[in-house]
Structure 1
Amino acid sequence: MTDARSRTASRARQQWMVVVVIATGLVVAITVLVAGAAAGYRLNMTASEPLGIWRIRPLKRPPAVGDLVFICPPETEAFSEARVRGYLRSGVCPTGDAPLIKMVIAIEGQRIEIGADVRIDGLRIPQTTIVPADGKGRPLHGDAGGIVPAGRVFLYSPFVASWDSRYFGSIPASGILGLAEEVVTYAP
């Protein structure tokens, strides 16, 4: 009888140790995530850019063509629909969304033409085909194009499934949190 009680007590101690180890691991993981977020690190889990850990670097000048940026989406009809469709993740932006990682491909004063693909000031931009539907078959509509207004940027991602300014148009540059820098990423 004593051996059975001893084995039961030993099993109970082992189970509690497992619970303590898991709880400790969760606390450590949450602490690392919170500290990383406070230091400007973000986890990208969308297909618009490589998956992994990214860092927000301060942008101490106006945005320029070619800048890869973290930007908060504005409160517009297009982004409201994007939330409903599940295109956006929850995050730290004023709208409650996670910042997007996109490349600035046009700034104020540049002319955007959107047809089967995108042209900026007459130059065709590679990998900008407008697709008629998203991955779930819901219709997508290209933006009307035009001149990028003052204080706005036109954004792009070369990934096929990316939802960018081809569809939602230019957005306020004031939403830029900083430059996007890859830390540890994986491109499938």
Structure 2
Amino acid sequence: MKKITKGKILADSIITLAIIAMVITGILGAIYLSGGRINISKSIPLGLYRISSKPLAKGEYVIFCPPSKAVFREAKERGYISSGFCPDHYGYMMKKIVAMKDDKVSITSQGVTVNGVLLQHSRPLAFDKMGRPLPQIDLQPYILNESELLLMTDHSASSFDARYFGILGKKQVISVLQPMITWTTS
């Protein structure tokens, strides 16, 4: 009878975990290469999305690269956004388009309004979870032009979105995202 040692059990466990990790990596790589994107942030519902050729429109989710601005450099340093493949090594961000051309927007300490309607969960926080001051914007009625977007969350009071970084250009957007499998947490 063959004797099983703790070393053998440990080696077999490590091999099994390595195989599982390779399979998971392969699956995630295939999803990514086929246009799939996974969201694990509070910005939009958690889940699996796919890159789409749909045109930009209000209410659509988008994936974008942050522009090279001080507010995004600080956000990356603080861990609000990750490192990634965008210019300046920013990670992609995902948000919802809440305003486009000819929409009248305001960003104040009360929150973000679009065409006179205060958006839910849009009141800017004064400090982050670590007690560090957050950027405060005062943008009184401003009408977006053809090249501008307002990108927000619609279900998280603590998301890093337009209430902190303001209006962005359409050129930052990589694609519209189509939800495939999503869920929300409370």
TM-score, normalised by the number of residues in structure 2: 0.84
Native 8 Å contact 1:58 1:177 kept in 2: no
Name 2:151's counterpart in structure 1: 155
How much does 1:86 deviate? 0.6
CA RMSD of aligned residues (A): 2.2
Change (3 A) 1:133 1:16: closer
Structural mapping, 1:18-167, within 5 Å:
18-59=13-54, 61=55, 63-115=56-108, 116-145=110-139, 146-158=142-154, 159-167=156-164
Distance 2:10 2:107 in 1: 61
1:19 CA drift (Å): 2.8
Query: What secondary structure sits across from 2:86 in the alignment?
Result: coil
Deviates more, 1:41-50 or 1:11-20: 11-20
Give the distance between the partners of 1:182 and 1:140, measured in 2 at CA.
30
Q: Distance in 1 between matches of 2:88 and 2:42?
A: 21
Tell me the number of residue pairs that the alignment of Structure 1 and Structure 2 aligns: 181
Write out per-residue CA displacement over residues 24-53 of structure 1, whole angstroms, 9 at most, x where no aligned residue: 111111111212111111222212222232
Whole-angstrom CA distance in 2 between matches of 1:134 and 1:16: 44
Q: TM-score, normalised by structure 1?
A: 0.83
SS for the counterpart of 2:89 is coil
Q: Larger Rg: 1 or 2?
A: 1
Using the TM superposition, give the Cα deviation of residue 168 of structure 1 relative to its aligned residue in structure 2, in angstroms.
0.4
Q: Distance in 2 between matches of 1:140 and 1:15?
A: 47
8 Å Cα contact 2:101/2:143 also seen in 1: yes
**Contact kept in structure 2, 1:72 and 1:98, CA below 8 Å:** yes
* CA displacement at 1:176 relative to structure 2: 1.5
User: Matched residue of 1:112: which SS?
Assistant: strand
The CA deviation at 1:182 is 2.6
How far apart are the structure 2 equivalents of 1:91 and 1:172? Answer: 20
Unaligned runs of 5+ in 2: none
Q: Distance in 1 between matches of 2:46 and 2:95?
A: 13
